Amino acid sequence: MSDTAATWRGAVPLAITAGSSVFYVRAPAHSKAPFLSGRLRQDMTVADSDVWFDAEGTALRWQYPVGLLFDLHTARARARDELVPVPWAITAHFGSWPSDRLIPVDADGAGPNTPRSYFMSMIKEADFLRTGSTKKVMSLSLQDQTRLWDSLVANTPIVWLALNAAYPDGFLHIVVAQASDASQ
């Protein structure tokens, strides 16, 4: 399997406890916590901005990929050669946003703390760290930015790869770079 295929096929099995219900989800490793709240919002009738997650009492940062969060939260067990429990048990919380531990998500979807705007900032940062410039990301048309984001949300690698091929040196490395940069 190529690195590209492995990147897109990577997933984290989750057991999300929400109230008295448990939802089992296979979350793409590159997805973000707000993507997980869709089914919860549907079943529990709450707004996305009201949902936040924790693992063993530690609030999960919504702006980091689920795979990175899993790796960070299970590193201690792996370092001791212990088995890592799968699915990963996380808890969904409704309301009482822990603003002392998490950046708030803009409820209206128009501010700087929306998942999409945060993602675009992260790829600019990753591009700058990699090349010393944000020129490549800044040259993306609004349509291509939207397609890039939508492909990540919908987990459609064909769209991402088509965009990736259209730009010198591609963008696929940015998802990987974003995850590795965030762990430092």
Query: For 116, how many CA atoms within 13 A lie in the half-sphere containing its CB?
Result: 15
The per-residue pLDDT for range 53-78, each reduced to its tens digit, is 999 999 999 888 899 999 999 888 87
Cβ neighbours for 62, distance < 8 A, ≥ 6 positions apart: 32, 33, 34, 52, 53, 102, 103, 105, 115
Q: Which residue has the tokens 């790796």?
A: 71
| End-to-end Cα, the chain, rounded Å | 28
The per-residue pLDDT for range 111-141, each reduced to its tens digit, is 556 788 888 888 888 888 878 888 888 888 8
Pull the structure tokens for residue 15: 């057991």
| Cα–Cα distance, 124 to 128 (Å, whole number) | 6
pTM of the full structure: 0.76
Is the separation of the CB atoms in 54 and 60 below 8 Å? yes
Q: Which domains, ranges and CATH numbers included, belong to the chain?
A: 3-94 (3.10.20.620), 115-182 (1.10.246)
Band the pLDDT of 95: cuts 50, 70, 90: confident
pLDDT at 29: 87
Is the separation of the CB atoms in 27 and 14 below 8 Å? yes
**Distance of alpha carbon 55 from its chain centroid, rounded?**
15
